[in-house]
């Protein structure tokens, strides 16, 4: 899984500014996330910027007082850089090219992206860096199609963690489960929600997810009788890692750093940690275990296929 944070985006822009064609005098961002890239780039090179719709209508975004001396009449902008945060299929940049084609014959328009997929890099005039798939970005993680193939924790990710007072395994906890405000409402269906909440709280958890329009395919909860039993088992990360492996998900999104590292080490797969906003990777032992599981799984599939062919032949 190739992950890029907002910090990575900014660093990539800052270290590749020399790729911006000399004489560029206006930055145009492709909505929505291309506007983030356009704004950062415009700030780095001290240029005005606008969005595609504004550019097609002959206007630029308003700037602060410091930029007023740099702003020109729209007709005076001659070398335009249209920028995307990333290009995957190339469809969005193709649509922008079609929209702007022939609109301003007197302007030179260059098309670029901060991150480009190797397969579609040739659809751009240039790019800042390559980023092959599978990939996911900090700024669109909860709204990406890949979310349907991810495991996601609840407490600390979809909502805040309960306080000690709220986490009494009784009426205070039930009130928390019913009324806690969500941190985010993903716009894509989650593949597997995995939580160390006890199975006995399934109905309240499902009601809260429905109330906040959080869609998911599976909800996996810890099948233990009490909070004390959960604490005694002390298998928070191990339980989540087992679910991660069972469903062969692409990514696990977790809040706790120590649990994220434990899940990564046990599964041999990456975990995104919300608390530190970075991807946590398995250590070498975890990687070896993960590879061994993958090889074992593949070997079983091949063996089953051979036996199936033999039975068909006989």
Yes or no: say if 152 and 158 are a contact pair by the CB < 8 Å rule.
Answer: yes
Confidence of residue 311 (pLDDT cuts 50, 70, 90): low
Helix residue ranges, H only, 114-272: 171-179, 202-211, 227-233, 236-246, 257-267
User: H or E element: which one contains 85?
Assistant: strand 79-87
Same domain membership, residue 113 and residue 8: yes
Do 156 and 267 lie in one domain? The reply is: yes
Q: Which residues form the domain of 105?
A: 2-138
Residue with more model confidence, 293 or 195: 195
61 pLDDT band, cuts 50/70/90, is confident
Q: Report whether pLDDT(301) > 80.
A: no
Look at residue 104 in the predicted model and tell me its pLDDT. Answer: 96
Check residue 288 and give its pLDDT. 45
In this structure, the answer to whether residues 152 and 274 fall within a common structural domain is yes
Question: pTM for this structure?
Answer: 0.81
pLDDT band at 62 (very low <50, low <70, confident <90, very high): confident
Q: Check residue 17 and report its DSSP letter.
A: G
Share of the chain above pLDDT 70, in %: 88
Residue 292's pLDDT is what? 47
Domain assignment of residue 209, yes or no:
yes
Across the range 136-156, mean pLDDT stands at: 95
Strand order in the sheet with 216-222: 216-222, 190-198, 150-152, 251-254, 271-273, 278-280
pLDDT given for residue 259 in this prediction: 97
Shared domain check, 130 and 14: yes
For 83-99, write each residue's pLDDT tens digit: 999 999 999 999 999 99
Question: Most distant CA pair in the chain: distance in Å?
Answer: 84
Domain assignment of residue 157, yes or no: yes
Residue 291 pLDDT: 45
Residue 305 lies in a domain: no
113 shares its domain with 182: no
CATH number of the CATH domain containing 96: 3.40.50.2020
| Domain count of the fold of the chain | 2
Contacts of 44 (CB under 8 A, 6+ apart): 13, 14, 17
Regarding whether 151 and 261 lie in a shared domain, the answer is yes
- Please determine, for residue 284, whether its predicted confidence score (pLDDT) is greater than 60: no
The residue-averaged pLDDT of 100-127 equals 96
pLDDT in tens, 181-240: 999 899 999 999 999 999 999 999 999 999 999 999 999 999 999 999 999 999 999 999
| Residue 287 located in a structural domain | no
- Decide if 99 contacts 72 (C-beta within 8 A): no
């Amino acid at each position: 899984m190739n992950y890029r944070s907002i910090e990575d985006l900014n660093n990539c822009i800052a270290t590749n500014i020399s790729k911006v064609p000399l004489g560029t005098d206006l930055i145009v961002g492709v909505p929505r996330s291309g506007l983030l890239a356009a704004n950062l780039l415009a700030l780095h090179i001290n240029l005005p910027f606008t969005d595609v719709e504004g550019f097609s209508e002959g206007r630029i975004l308003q700037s602060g007082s410091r930029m007023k001396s740099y702003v020109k009449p729209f007709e005076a902008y001659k070398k335009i850089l249209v920028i995307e945060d990333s290009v995957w299929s190339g469809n969005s940049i193709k649509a922008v090219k079609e929209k702007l084609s022939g609109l301003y014959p007197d302007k030179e328009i260059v098309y670029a992206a901060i991150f480009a997929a190797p397969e579609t890099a040739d659809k751009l005039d240039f790019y800042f860096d390559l980023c092959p798939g599978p990939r996911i970005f900090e700024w669109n993680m909860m709204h990406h199609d890949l979310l349907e193939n991810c495991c996601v924790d609840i407490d600390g990710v979809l909502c805040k963690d309960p306080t000690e007072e709220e986490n009494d395994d009784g009426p205070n906890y039930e009130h928390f489960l019913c009324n806690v405000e969500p941190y985010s409402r993903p716009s894509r269906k989650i593949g597997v929600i995995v939580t160390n909440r006890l199975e006995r709280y399934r109905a309240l958890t499902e009601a809260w997810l429905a109330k906040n329009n959080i869609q998911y395919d599976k909800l996996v909860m810890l099948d233990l009788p009490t909070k004390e039993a959960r604490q005694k088992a002390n298998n928070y990360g191990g339980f989540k890692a087992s679910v991660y492996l069972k469903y062969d998900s692409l990514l696990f999104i977790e809040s706790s750093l120590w649990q994220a590292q434990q899940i990564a080490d046990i599964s041999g797969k990456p975990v995104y940690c919300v608390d530190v906003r970075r991807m946590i990777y398995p250590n070498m032992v975890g990687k070896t275990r993960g590879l061994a599981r993958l090889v074992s799984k593949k070997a079983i599939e091949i063996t089953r296929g051979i036996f199936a062919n033999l039975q068909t032949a006989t």
